[in-house]
Structure 1
Amino acid sequence: MSVVQHAKAYTEHDFGKTELTPAYRIDLRDPTLSNENIDKFINANLVSDWSQLTWKQVKKPYIVKTEAASKQQWESEHGTMSVKQSWEFFNRSFHEWFVKDVPTELVQSKQQLWRYLSRFEISEVKKALGETLRLSLWNYAHRIEDGVWDPRGKRALFDGLDVHKPRILFLGAAEGYEAMQLHAMYPGGEVVLVDYDEFCKTDRFGHFPDSYPFLGSNPATGQAKVWYKNQMNIHYVVDDIRNLPFGKEFDIVLSVGLLEHFPDEHKHEALNWHRKFLKPGGYAIMTTPRHQLKSVLFYKIMADVMNHTYRELMDIRQMGLYVYEGGFDILRHGFIKVHNGIVAKPR
C-alpha cells in the first residue's frame, strides 16, 4: 500500500501555488509573504516570565479518554496493551488514512449510505454514516485545511534558526515530515529519524510520496528551492529512544506530538531526551495538539483512527510550563493551525 503519488514535478516556477491531490495538499506558498495569519506561526507572547507561571493559573491539560474500538476489543481478549503495541496499532490505523484517495472513497461512502437508506437497513446506515463523517472530517482536516502537515505554519515556526548544515534528530519520527521540512530549509546536513516501530520506517516513511515538494532554500544562491525526499541525507533508526547511542551531537532535536502522550510522572524523562542529544547552543523544537473545540471533536469522531494511546490536549501555556520546568529556556512560543509550537534551548 502506498500514498497516492502525484506525477507533477514542482520547480521554483511553482512558488506561491497550492494544489490538492487525491490524498493531500501541495503548498508552496511562503508564510513570510502572506497576510493570512491562520497560515502562519502565531508568536503568542502570552508569557513574558515563565518562572512566575504556576499550575494553579493554567490548570492541567485535557485528557482524551475515548478509546479506539480496536484497542478495546484487543484488550477484552488479551488484557492491557503495552505502550509499544498501542503505538503499533495507531501507526497502522493512521497510515491507512494517509494513503486514501479521499475524494473517491468519499463518493463511494455516500453512495453506500444512500443504498442502505433506501433499503431501511438501519444498522448498516449507522456504520456508513460514521464512515462518511470520518472521511469528510479527514478530507477537511488533512486535505482542505492541511492541518496535519501544515507546511506554512511549520516553516514559520522553524524560521530564523542560527544553524548551518545542521544535524537534526527527530524523536518519534513516524513518516519524518517535519524533519524533511527542516532539512529543506537548512540543507547540507543530516537527518536522523528515530521510531521504535519498524512499520514507521518501512511504510510511513518508506511510502511517503517521493513527489511531495518541500519549500526550502538553495545555499548556493541564497534563494528559495524545491526539495524532495530522495534528495535528502536521511537515516532511519528503529529503536527505543532510551537505547540511542548518541551523545550531545545534534544541532536540532525535534518532536511532533510526543510530549502529550506522557502522563505527568513521565514528562520529565521525555523532555530530558530533547536535552541529552543536543550540542551546546542547540535547539529543541516541540509541538503538541492544541486544546480547542475542533480538536476535541476531531479526536472523538476519529477515535477509531487516533485513540490507541494516552493523549492530552494542551494550550500553549500548559505546554510551555512543562518545557520550562523540564529545564529549558523558551525562545519562542505560539501556535499554528492545530498545534502549539515551542523553540527552546536548555538552561
Structure 2
Amino acid sequence: MLQEKSRAQNHTKPYSEQHIGTTHLHRQYRTDLRQLSEKDYNKFVTLNTVRDWSQLSWSNVGKPYEVEASAKERLEWEATNSRDMDPHTSWTLFNKSFHEWFIKDVPKEIGNSKHHFLKSLRTFKPAEVKQALGEVIQLQLWNYIHRVQDGIWDPRGKRALFEGLHLTRPRILFLGAAEGYEAMQLGAMYPGAEIVMVDYDEYCKTTRFKDFPDSYPFLGENPRTGHPAVYYKDDLNIEYVVEDIRNLDFNKEFDIVLSVGLLEHFPDEYKHEVADWHRRFLKPGGYAIMTTPRNQVRSRLYYRIMADVMNHTYRELMTVEQMGLYMYENGFDILRHGYIKVHNGLVCQPR
C-alpha cells in the first residue's frame, strides 16, 4: 500500500530538489527549474532602466499601441447583436479559447495541421488552402512562443521580477487570476503564503485553475534551510473567489496585490480605477506587482496571427516606461521595473 501511494505521488509530483537546474519539454508546455545564470540574466531580463520617474512625461514615452485586430468570434457576435460585445462575454470567450489552446497536444496538432494543409492543396480552393495554412502558422507560433520559449509563463523571468521582497508568510491577492500561475510562483518563492485568487469568470475557477497540471513544478525556497525547493499547486494555500473586483469586500489586508495582463485592457479613462484596485487592498508597506505584454515587433505579430485566440477584448501593448508612468501618476512609487521575454513588470507601493 505504501509503495502504491509513493508511485502515485511520484506521478503527480515527478520533480524534486534533484531536478533543480533542469528543464523538460512536454506536449503542452515546458517545465523549467533552472536558475538564471549571469549570461541568461543579461539576455532575458532588463531591470530598472528609469532613474527618476518624476522626469518622465507622455511626450517622452508616447502612448501604448492599441491592438486593433479582433477575433472572428467577437466580430460575428457584434454583427449578430448589433452592438459592441460586453466585457463579461468577451472575457468568457477569451478564457475558453485560450484554455482550448493550452490543453492542445501541440506536436500532434502540428502534424494534423500539416496533413490538413497538404490535403487542402489538392482541392484547388484558395479559401480552404488559406485557412489550412493559417492553422499551421498559428500552431507553429504557439509552439515556439509558449512551449519552446516558455514566453507566456516565463518562470525564470517572473522570478527575477518578483524576488527580493521582505515578506514572511504573505497574504497575496491576485486580481483577474485566470489559471493563477503567477500567484503560485510567488507562493513558492515566499513559503507559507495565503493566496486569494479572484476572477469574475467562473470558468477560470472551474476549468482554467482546476485543470492547471498538478504535476507542474514551481521553483521556490525552503524556509527552514534557505535553499531552493520545488512546490506544486496542492502544496499551496489557495482560495479562489468568483467575483467582480469592484464588489470585493476585503480590507487593507494583503501584503501583495497582483495582476497579470489587466492594466492594458482598459482605455486611459479607466486606468486610474485599475491603479486604485491595487491600492485598496494593500496593507501599509505592501507591494503591488503587475505585468503587461510588451510593445515589441514580435508581440504585435503574435497578436495579429493569434487574433482569433487572443483578441476578444480591448488590448494595448506597452513599454515598461508607459506602464510605470500610469502607476506613478496614480500615486505609486516604482521600486523595481523591467522587461522579460514578452512582458513588462512593476513592483510598486502607494505613496
TM-score range, shorter chain: over 0.9
The alignment status of 1:61 with 2:64, answered yes or no, reads yes
Q: How many residues align?
A: 340
- After TM superposition, list the pairs within 5 Å mapping 1:70-85 onto structure 2: 70-78=73-81, 79-85=83-89
- After TM superposition, list the pairs within 5 Å mapping 1:164-175 onto structure 2: 164-175=168-179
Equivalent residue for 1:46?
49
- 2:154 pairs with 123, 138, 150, which one? 150
- 2:239 pairs with 235, 259, 268, which one? 235
Deviation beyond 6 Å, 4+ runs, structure 1: none
- After TM superposition, list the pairs within 5 Å mapping 1:5-16 onto structure 2: 9-16=14-21
In structure 2, distance between residues paired with 1:323 and 1:28: 32
Letter in 1 for 2:143: N
- 1:179 pairs with 183, 189, 198, which one? 183
Return 5+ residue gaps in structure 2 as ranges: 1-10
- 2:217 pairs with 213, 220, 235, which one? 213
Letter in 2 for 1:27: D
Given that residues 41 and 154 in structure 1 are in contact (C-alpha distance below 8 angstroms), is that contact kept between their aligned partners in structure 2?
Answer: no
Bigger drift between 114-123 and 282-291 goes to 114-123
| TM-score of the two chains, using structure 1 as the length reference | 0.96
Change (3 A) 1:40 1:164: farther
Equivalent residue for 1:280?
284
In structure 2, distance between residues paired with 1:111 and 1:40: 35
The alignment status of 1:326 with 2:339, answered yes or no, reads no
Equivalent residue for 2:143?
139
Equivalent residue for 2:252?
248
In structure 2, distance between residues paired with 1:157 and 1:164: 18
Change (3 A) 1:303 1:284: same
The alignment status of 1:341 with 2:345, answered yes or no, reads yes
- Report Cα offsets for 1:47-75 as digits up to 9, x if no partner: 21111211111111100011100000011
- 1:26 pairs with 19, 22, 31, which one? 31
The alignment status of 1:199 with 2:203, answered yes or no, reads yes
Change (3 A) 1:38 1:108: farther
In structure 2, distance between residues paired with 1:40 and 1:132: 28
In structure 1, distance between residues paired with 2:176 and 2:12: 29
1:189 Cα deviation after fit: 2.1
Letter in 1 for 2:219: L
Given that residues 161 and 345 in structure 2 are in contact (C-alpha distance below 8 angstroms), is that contact kept between their aligned partners in structure 1?
Answer: yes
- Report Cα offsets for 1:247-304 as digits up to 9, x if no partner: 0000000001100001000000000000110000000000111000000000000000
Q: 3-state DSSP class of the match of 2:256?
A: strand
The alignment status of 1:17 with 2:52, answered yes or no, reads no
Letter in 1 for 2:307: A
In structure 2, distance between residues paired with 1:26 and 1:310: 31
Bigger drift between 152-161 and 110-119 goes to 110-119
Given that residues 316 and 334 in structure 1 are in contact (C-alpha distance below 8 angstroms), is that contact kept between their aligned partners in structure 2?
Answer: yes
Letter in 2 for 1:342: L
Percent identity between the two aligned chains? 64
- 2:114 pairs with 107, 110, 114, which one? 110
Equivalent residue for 2:93?
89
The alignment status of 1:290 with 2:289, answered yes or no, reads no
- 1:119 pairs with 114, 118, 123, which one? 123
Letter in 1 for 2:314: Y
Given that residues 13 and 214 in structure 2 are in contact (C-alpha distance below 8 angstroms), is that contact kept between their aligned partners in structure 1?
Answer: no
Return 5+ residue gaps in structure 1 as ranges: 1-5
Equivalent residue for 1:266?
270
In structure 1, distance between residues paired with 2:49 and 2:211: 39
Change (3 A) 1:175 1:38: farther
- 1:226 pairs with 223, 230, 252, which one? 230
Bigger drift between 166-175 and 111-120 goes to 111-120
